[in-house]
C-alpha cells in the first residue's frame, strides 16, 4: 500500500507538538502540568507561557494523536482480528514498561487499552456517519464526567494541585535517584492514571479514536477532498476552538488557578475546544499541502511521522537523561523549559531522516511489527476476523 505522506506529516506534527507540553512534565513536578501556580505563586512570564500554550497546544496535539490512532485502526482492519489484537497488546506491554521503568507521563498504555476495547466498534460500525456520531457521544460523555467531578470535588485544595514542600522535595529525590523507589512511585501514579482512564479520560480517548476512524473511512484523512474544502474547515474550526477555550483561560487567570474552579470545571472548555482545533490543524496541512510539499522541512517532518513510536520514546530518553540523570529537574521555569524543545526536535528530525535513508521503518516500529507477526502466529497478512 502506498504511504499517505500528508498523513505522515500530520502524525509528525502531533509527535513534535506533544513535546511542547511534555517538556513541562519532564522538567517540573507533576502538579505543574495543569497548574502554572503550582508553587503557590506565579510570575507574569510563566502565566503568559501557560496561557499561550493552553490556547494553541494543551490537549490539542494529544487529541490529534488520538485522532490519528483511530485512523490507523481503520486502516489496519484488513489485517484481521489476530493481527490487531496482537499489535495492541504489544503496545500495551510497551506502554507499561515505559510508564514503570522510564517516565510516569506515558500515553501508550492508555492507547493500547482503549484500542483493544474500541477496534471492534470501528470494524462493526455500519457507516462512517454512525462511527462519527458514536465518537462525539463518547467524547461528550467524558467531558460530562469531568464537569461532574468538578461539582463534587469540594472546596479543599488538592495536594496534587499545590503540593507542599515535603512532597516537592520527595518527588525531586525519587526522580533523580531512580531505582526501586522511583519504580514504586511510578506504579502508584500508573494506578491513579488507570483509574482516571476508566472513570473519565478513556471516554474522550475512545471518542477521538472513533472520530479519527470515521474521518479515515470517509476519505477526509486520506486527502480526498479539495484544498478549498480543507482551508474552509481550518478557517472555521481553529477560531471556533479558540473561542471556546479563551474565556476559560481568562477565568483561570482571574481566579488565580484556584483548585475549586480550575481543577476540573474550567478544564472542560479546553476539552471541548480540542477536537475543533485538532481537526482544524489537520485541515490546515491538507489545505496547503501543494505549498507545504515543496519544503524540505515537510519531508523531514514526514519522516518523524513514519517513526512516530520511535520518536516518542526517543523524546523520553533524551528528556529523562537531561532532567533526571544530569539533574536539571526543577531548575527552570515553564518559559525557559521551552528552550529545550528545538534541540529535541532537531534530534527527532535528523535521526528520522538519516535512519529512513537506509531502512523502511523506525527501529521500534520494526520490532513491533516482527513481534506482532510472532504473537499473531503468522508470517503474512491475516485476514481472519
Q: Where are the domains of the chain?
A: 5-376
Model's pTM, two decimal places?
A: 0.94
User: Read out DSSP for 103-158?
Assistant: -TT--HHHHHHHHHHHHHHHHH-SSHHHHHHHHHHHHHHHHHHHHHHHHHS-SSPP
Q: Quote the pLDDT of residue 8.
A: 96
Residue ranges of the chain with pLDDT lower than 50?
381-385
Q: Quote the pLDDT of residue 41.
A: 82
Contact in structure between 235 and 279 (CB atoms under 8 Å): no
Q: Quote the pLDDT of residue 40.
A: 80
Contact in structure between 161 and 38 (CB atoms under 8 Å): yes
Q: Quote the pLDDT of residue 1.
A: 53
Rounded to whole angstroms, how far apart are CA atoms 108 and 192?
15
Q: Quote the pLDDT of residue 159.
A: 75
Q: Quote the pLDDT of residue 198.
A: 92
Q: Quote the pLDDT of residue 156.
A: 67
Q: Quote the pLDDT of residue 383.
A: 39
Quickly tell me which residue has 525531586 as its cell: 172
Q: Quote the pLDDT of residue 3.
A: 79
Residue 105 CA, distance from chain mean position = 10
Rounded to whole angstroms, how far apart are CA atoms 54 and 241?
12
Contact in structure between 248 and 270 (CB atoms under 8 Å): yes
Amino acid at each position: 500500500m502506498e504511504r499517505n505522506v500528508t498523513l505522515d506529516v500530520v502524525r509528525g506534527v502531533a509527535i513534535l507538538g506533544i513535546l511542547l507540553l511534555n517538556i513541562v512534565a519532564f522538567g517540573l513536578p507533576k502538579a505543574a502540568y495543569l497548574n502554572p501556580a503550582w508553587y503557590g505563586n506565579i510570575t507574569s512570564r510563566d502565566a503568559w507561557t501557560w496561557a499561550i500554550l493552553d490556547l494553541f497546544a494543551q490537549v490539542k496535539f494529544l487529541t490529534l494523536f488520538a485522532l490519528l490512532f483511530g485512523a490507523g485502526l481503520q486502516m489496519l482492519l484488513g489485517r484481521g482480528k489476530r493481527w490487531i489484537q496482537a499489535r495492541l497488546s504489544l503496545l500495551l506491554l510497551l506502554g507499561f514498561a515505559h510508564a514503570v521503568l522510564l517516565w510516569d507521563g506515558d500515553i501508550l498504555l492508555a492507547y493500547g487499552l482503549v484500542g483493544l476495547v474500541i477496534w471492534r466498534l470501528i470494524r462493526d460500525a455500519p457507516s462512517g456517519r454512525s462511527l462519527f456520531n458514536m465518537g462525539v457521544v463518547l467524547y461528550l460523555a467524558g467531558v460530562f464526567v469531568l464537569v461532574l467531578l468538578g461539582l463534587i470535588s469540594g472546596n479543599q485544595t488538592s495536594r496534587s494541585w499545590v503540593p507542599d514542600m515535603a512532597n516537592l522535595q520527595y518527588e525531586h529525590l525519587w526522580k533523580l535517584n531512580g531505582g526501586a523507589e522511583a519504580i514504586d512511585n511510578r506504579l502508584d501514579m500508573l494506578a491513579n492514571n488507570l483509574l482516571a482512564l476508566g472513570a473519565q479520560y478513556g471516554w474522550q480517548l475512545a471518542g477521538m479514536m472513533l472520530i479519527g476512524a470515521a474521518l479515515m473511512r470517509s476519505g477526509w484523512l486520506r486527502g480526498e477532498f479539495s484544498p478549498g474544502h480543507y482551508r474552509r474547515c481550518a478557517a472555521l474550526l481553529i477560531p471556533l476552538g479558540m473561542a471556546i477555550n479563551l474565556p476559560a483561560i481568562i477565568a483561570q487567570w482571574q481566579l488565580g488557578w484556584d483548585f475549586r474552579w480550575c481543577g476540573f470545571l474550567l478544564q472542560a472548555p479546553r476539552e471541548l475546544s480540542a477536537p475543533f482545533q485538532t481537526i482544524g490543524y489537520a485541515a490546515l496541512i491538507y489545505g496547503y499541502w501543494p505549498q507545504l510539499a515543496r519544503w524540505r522541512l515537510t519531508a523531514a517532518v514526514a519522516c518523524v511521522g513514519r517513526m512516530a513510536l520511535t520518536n516518542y520514546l526517543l523524546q523520553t530518553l533524551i528528556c529523562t537523561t537531561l532532567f533526571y540523570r544530569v539533574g536539571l529537574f526543577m531548575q527552570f521555569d515553564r518559559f525557559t523549559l521551552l528552550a529545550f524543545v528545538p534541540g529535541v526536535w532537531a534530534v527527532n528530525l535528523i535521526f528520522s531522516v538519516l535512519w529512513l535513508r537506509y531502512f523502511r521503518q523506525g527501529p521500534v516500529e520494526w520490532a513491533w511489527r516482527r513481534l506482532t507477526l510472532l504473537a499473531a502466529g503468522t508470517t503474512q497478512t491475516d485476514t481472519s476476523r
